Structure 1
Amino acid sequence: MAKAPVIELHEIRHALKVAAVTGQTPLCDVALLAVFYSTGLTSNEAAKLTVADYCAEDGGVRSDATVRAEIAFNGKSRPLLWANRRARESLDEYLRHRVSVRHGVSTARAAYRGLDPCSSLFLADDGTSFAFTRRFTRSGTASYSCETLTGILRRLHQQAGIERGNASAARRSFAVLLHRQGRSLKLIQNLIGVSSLAAIKSLVDSDPVALASIVRGVL
């Protein structure tokens, strides 16, 4: 299977600008893009995040957040760092909008910014949680996927003219951009939850920028 593409920073910034002025839910769309590219989450994990995974009870951004084991794709918890300024700002704006339209609000207005802490962090445009599709393998094992959110990520890339852009591309780009910054493979492994260092190396190999630098130095 071909690797997901690496989406460059200028493409990500363009996608954010397009998302801000396109569609019915621009605040949610911008927040989604910013979160996917700054955390390396999978679609299923993002769909299962709750308000309490982002907000502390006093309304501040959680500094001890984790991708909880019960929502992690591999069943193992890992750090969830809300360190990216653009992601925090877009999430904050989106959550203020949710309060204004009363999507997932709570009667306890002083806690969790007035939102139900158990409410999904990202909601569909009608204020409901994203649905999951259940499928069965040949052996009878059930698997679940959030196809709606996957489709939204695909649409957000398409409208920005980014070919093959999707949640997998955002996840690989997160890993590759960290690697370009000189971050260790072990750190990247810890942040995205991939099982082995060999898998991380495969993910960041064939970086188009690194390859272009090699070719430029041939002559």
Structure 2
Amino acid sequence: MPAVVVEPHDRKHLFKVTEVCSEMPARDLALLGILFGSPMKVTEIAQLKVRHVLSPDGGYLKESQVPAEIAFNGLARPWYWSSKLLCGLLDSYFRERVKRNQGLTANPSAFRQMDPDSSVFLNRRGESFHLTARKDKVGQVRYTCSSLSRHYSSLFASAGIEGATAESGRRTFAVTLRRQGYDIPHIHALLGNQNLKTTRRMLDSDPVDMGKIAASAF
């Protein structure tokens, strides 16, 4: 079964509930922002470093990439920190992170005082979300980040969004772009899937809003 697509009205509700109910609202809003505002998987979000997002002068890397060392398939793919909404959420979180004295560097003039090699997202103790390695059926090592996956599930549950998981962010990202008219090859490049069929399956199973279709008739 494909991951659930979180529709715009549910996303809006999710952000409102998180802002009010979260113990670390700035961080959790940024976590939701990157989940829906990028095609990154949970393991990639957990491994994302400050230097993957910011330049030494503290600005966003407009033309960047998901580097091979953190990419889910070991292949680098392009990414762009160009969304004003996502960057605004990250700005708020970075300010809060500095106030909490989490993962800072001795050089206060670089990377907004944050250690460039520290993970972007930290838990309440100021630690990275840890990955767990396991072997699949054919003996290949796969990585998971259960703690961050569970955290995303708890945010969805608090907002009453049934069936949504961290994988919903990646699929929602792809479906949203397709609904806006962007072509499949460009969406595919951002997702980083090796097989175009995988991307097409994510998009072809887009749930149809029958009410929206009916309303457009008159």
Deviations 1:111-169 (A, max 9, x none): 00000000000001100111112223355443221111111111111111111111111
Cross-structure match for 1:173: 172
Q: Give SS of 1:75's match.
A: coil
| Matched ranges for 1:36-185 at <5 A | 36-185=35-184
Give the partner amino acid of 1:198: K
Cross-structure match for 1:191: 190
Q: In the comparison of the two structures, how many residue pairs are matched? A: 217
Give the partner amino acid of 1:6: V
Q: Which runs of 5+ in 1 are unaligned?
A: none
Q: Percent identity?
A: 37
Give the partner amino acid of 1:32: L
Give the partner amino acid of 1:118: D
Give the partner amino acid of 1:169: S
TM-score between the two structures when normalised by the length of structure 1: 0.93
Deviation at 1:196, TM superposition (A): 2.3
Give the partner amino acid of 2:54: C
Matched residues in 2 for 1:130 and 1:207: separation? 31
Deviation at 1:34, TM superposition (A): 0.6
206-215 or 90-99, which moves further after superposition? 206-215
Deviation at 1:11, TM superposition (A): 1.0
Q: Give SS of 2:142's match.
A: strand
Give the partner amino acid of 1:152: H
Deviations 1:71-106 (A, max 9, x none): 101111111222222211111111111111110001
Cross-structure match for 2:13: 14
Q: Which runs of 5+ in 2 are unaligned?
A: none
1:39–1:81 Cα contact (<8 Å) kept? no
**Cα RMSD after superposing both structures:** 1.8
Q: Give SS of 2:105's match.
A: coil
Matched residues in 2 for 1:113 and 1:200: separation? 36
TM-score between the two structures when normalised by the length of structure 2: 0.93
Q: Give SS of 1:20's match.
A: helix
2:4–2:165 Cα contact (<8 Å) kept? no
Matched, 1:34 2:4: no
